[in-house]
A and B are shown apart, each in its own frame.
Chain A
């Protein structure tokens, strides 16, 4: 089932005397979610991603705009008539019911021709329990389960009615690091097996990049960029997206373009043909640095961190505008780099360097070399 969001806007009225303007949580969001894909809504807290999920779910009504599931306009439908399954951040499992009771709860609500017998319900519940691999936990109470198991029960409950769209709100935020890796694979597998269009919300870019077919990066209610994770990473639309994706984060420098050449400080690092002269902001991915004795970018070397597979060089440069104040370059462990040197010189990989407008922070399209 494809989901179409058309100019979706949600504003919350200003509260209190001091607040002057209404708060716009989601601003003119348009996106067509292809059928059977896993979509990650990504952004810092307060960017409107959870509100977007609530709008798709139907728990909140949009101020303007429309939502379609396939050909059906569901904008004014209450959540129960939309055919959505929702997994809440805290799972919202009913503590007084067993796992089986929790999973059959949505089925017990069915009335009329959809009404199921107890045997049918239990059979259905066992089917989804097998899908999320919790068949042996059906008699337990939620308080007797681990976080990961509760998560699976919540997913099973959301899936048992075979929803047209599955929604997950921060599905991994309550799990520890190990379980998070495991569970995100699990979500990917369940989504693949059921083929249900799935939207999940996260503030963790690792999580979104690793399992999504497409990611939507949001900031202050406005969609910044939509695309396949790798495409967005390789081709960020603006400085915000470039900074938000990738660990360690992108390194930012003040740069200047003069006569078709890009300068960081006084160093002419790359040629930038066809770009208007002026001040720019330069973003360099950590893997975009090549240690090179003749490299143009000479930095003061602070320290070297060896991490097995690769080495990160922590350096500083006067033009660096990264929030931490230092440059972090990731280079191959085979590179010949001295841990005790005072300075380090880099040349840059052109495809890992992005230019942004200094004022607007929009990407300047260009071909560096």
Chain B
């Protein structure tokens, strides 16, 4: 038994070492940094231990803006992308002709280069000297606009960011949900049909419970992914996100470390720990809710 234990640890060692050095140690370090007041990375000194970093971050309007942006992004994109993905997957699994074609079309964003996507969104929304962008062209048909989606009002920029996020995360969700739908045994539907179940009730009473584990997996990973959003905002609005009012929490952490106003690892650490706390809370709530509603 003792010998077996030693062997087991030996097998685990590479993974533990790797995770320890690159995950656990930095995590602990970030936690410690977040309580060291006035830390100077050049001299590696600090004045004292306390919660000043947190109070600074929590009173920083840029951080509050970032939190607001992130929450709006999460609240809008997670339900919207999951709902749309569910709708599209159900549609996909109920058609026979051209199904493979549509499946490929819906999966394309997943394999498309980010820069190419950025270019497409430029064509759609960017106002240049020559054109107002495709979106404004369509709006002009309805005698609306033009609206500057990239440098204009806050809600327009937020709309583009949400649109982009939903568009980017949907392919993966559709992929997961179509396979989940395909794995529901056809006999359940046959049994329900014999019993005269309406289509809506079949969906609500059979399909949804059957795929609920996958659905909740997507919601949880969707929440976590949306809270960690950063690169999407950069792709759309450039690196000076604070000026664009489009910063996210991860963006704020990055700016505090390396941005033009950066060089404050303590503030960055405090913000990172706050983000961690938020994600942990939301995920816990998710899991508690799912335990009640997910079957199996």
A305 to chain B, nearest CB (A): 41
Residues of A with C-beta under 8 A to B99:
none
A252 to chain B, nearest CB (A): 39
Instruction: Choose, from B10-18, B132-140, B153-161, B189-197, the stretch at the interface.
Output: B189-197
Cβ B206 vs Cβ A84 within 8 A: no
A94 to chain B, nearest CB (A): 6
Known contacts A57-B194, A86-B191, A109-B195: does B201 contact A96 (CB below 8 Å)?
no
A-B contact pairs, 28 of them (CB 8 A): A59-B193, A59-B194, A78-B193, A79-B196, A80-B193, A80-B195, A81-B196, A86-B190, A88-B187, A88-B191, A90-B185, A90-B187, A92-B187, A92-B188, A92-B190, A95-B210, A95-B295, A96-B209, A96-B210, A105-B197, A105-B205, A106-B195, A109-B196, A109-B197, A109-B198, A109-B201, A157-B195, A161-B195
Quick check: is B296 within 8 A (CB to CB) of the other chain? yes
Known contacts A94-B206, A95-B295, A96-B210: does B194 contact A80 (CB below 8 Å)?
yes
Residues of B with C-beta under 8 A to A84:
194
Quick check: is A43 within 8 A (CB to CB) of the other chain? no
Residues of A with C-beta under 8 A to B212:
96
Give the complex CA separation of A59 and B295 in angstroms.
28
Residues of A with C-beta under 8 A to B188:
92, 94
Cβ A85 vs Cβ B194 within 8 A: yes
B261 to chain A, nearest CB (A): 53
Residue of A nearest to B206 (CB): A94
Most buried by A among B198, B205, B296: B205
With A58-B194, A110-B196 given, can you name 16 additional A-B contacts, CB distance below 8 Å?
A: A59-B190, A84-B194, A85-B194, A88-B190, A88-B191, A92-B185, A92-B190, A95-B210, A95-B296, A96-B209, A96-B210, A109-B195, A109-B197, A109-B198, A157-B195, A161-B195
Known contacts A92-B188, A94-B188, A109-B201: does B295 contact A79 (CB below 8 Å)?
no
Residues of B with C-beta under 8 A to A79:
193-194, 196
Q: Which of A68-117 contact B (CB under 8 A)?
A: 78-81, 84-86, 88-90, 92, 94-96, 105-106, 108-110
Secondary structure of the B side of the interface? helix
Give the complex CA separation of A80 and B196 in angstroms.
4
Give the complex CA separation of A105 and B209 in angstroms.
14
Q: Please count the residue pairs between chain A and chain B whose beta carbons lie under 8 angstroms apart in the complex.
A: 59
Contact with B along A38-77 (1 / 0, CB 8 A): 0000000000000000000111000000000000000000
Give the complex CA separation of A57 and B190 in angstroms.
10
B188 to chain A, nearest CB (A): 5
Give the complex CA separation of A92 and B189 in angstroms.
9
Q: Nearest 10 A-B pairs (CB), nearest first? A: A80-B196, A96-B295, A106-B195, A92-B187, A96-B209, A92-B191, A79-B194, A86-B194, A109-B196, A88-B187
Known contacts A95-B295, A96-B295: does B190 contact A105 (CB below 8 Å)?
no
Give the complex CA separation of A85 and B190 in angstroms.
11
A13 to chain B, nearest CB (A): 13
Give the complex CA separation of A88 and B210 in angstroms.
18
Give the complex CA separation of A1 and B229 in angstroms.
65
Give the complex CA separation of A94 and B210 in angstroms.
9
Give the complex CA separation of A90 and B187 in angstroms.
8
A30 to chain B, nearest CB (A): 24
Most buried by B among A58, A78, A109, A110: A109
Residue of A nearest to B212 (CB): A96
Contact with A along B191-226 (1 / 0, CB 8 A): 111111110010001100110100000000000000
Give the complex CA separation of A58 and B196 in angstroms.
12
Give the complex CA separation of A95 and B206 in angstroms.
9
Residue of B nearest to A86 (CB): B194
Residue of A nearest to B192 (CB): A105
Give the complex CA separation of A92 and B190 in angstroms.
9
Give the complex CA separation of A57 and B191 in angstroms.
10
Residue of A nearest to B191 (CB): A92
Give the complex CA separation of A96 and B292 in angstroms.
12
Residues of B with C-beta under 8 A to A81:
196
Give the complex CA separation of A299 and B94 in angstroms.
63
Give the complex CA separation of A352 and B196 in angstroms.
50
Residues of B with C-beta under 8 A to A89:
187
B50 to chain A, nearest CB (A): 51
Residues of A with C-beta under 8 A to B205:
94, 105
Most buried by A among B196, B206, B209: B196
Give the complex CA separation of A109 and B188 in angstroms.
15
Residues of A with C-beta under 8 A to B187:
88-90, 92
Residue of A nearest to B193 (CB): A79
Residues of B with C-beta under 8 A to A86:
190-191, 194
Give the complex CA separation of A81 and B185 in angstroms.
23
A32 to chain B, nearest CB (A): 23
A70 to chain B, nearest CB (A): 19
Give the complex CA separation of A108 and B200 in angstroms.
13
Residues of A with C-beta under 8 A to B198:
109
Known contacts A88-B190, A92-B190, A94-B206: does B196 contact A106 (CB below 8 Å)?
yes
